[in-house]
Amino acid sequence: MGDLLNDIHTLRTIINASPFPVYLCKGEDMIVTIANEATLKAWGKTNYVIGKPFHEVLPELENQPFKQLLLDVLSYRNYPFV
């Protein structure tokens, strides 16, 4: 379990250190679990987005294809997505 916790900490450190927007959503509800400062700045949001569904964080994208693209990536999680 210690190795897993170290891996999670390392992943969070890398994401938070990135100068580029990086975020992680979980599950079909696309719950935002990690969003670095560059993401928050790009979205014009604060860290209140953590734990919220993606569609609540960026409701302006609701009628655009972006959400479906993310769901397509999720559905191909066992296959390479190119």
In a domain, 82, yes or no: no
Domain that holds residue 36: 2-75
pLDDT tens across 35-48, in order? 999 999 999 999 99
Residue 51 CB-half CA count within 13 A: 2
Q: Which pLDDT does position 29 carry in this prediction?
A: 84
Q: Which pLDDT does position 46 carry in this prediction?
A: 96
pTM: 0.77
What CATH code is carried by the domain that includes residue 35? 3.30.450.20
Q: How many domains are contained in the chain?
A: 1
In a domain, 81, yes or no: no
pLDDT tens across 1-49, in order? 677 777 888 888 999 999 999 999 888 888 999 999 999 999 999 999 9
In a domain, 19, yes or no: yes
Give me the numbers of helices (H) and strands (E) for the chain, helices first please: 4, 2
In a domain, 62, yes or no: yes
Closest CA to 50 of 24, 73, 69: 24
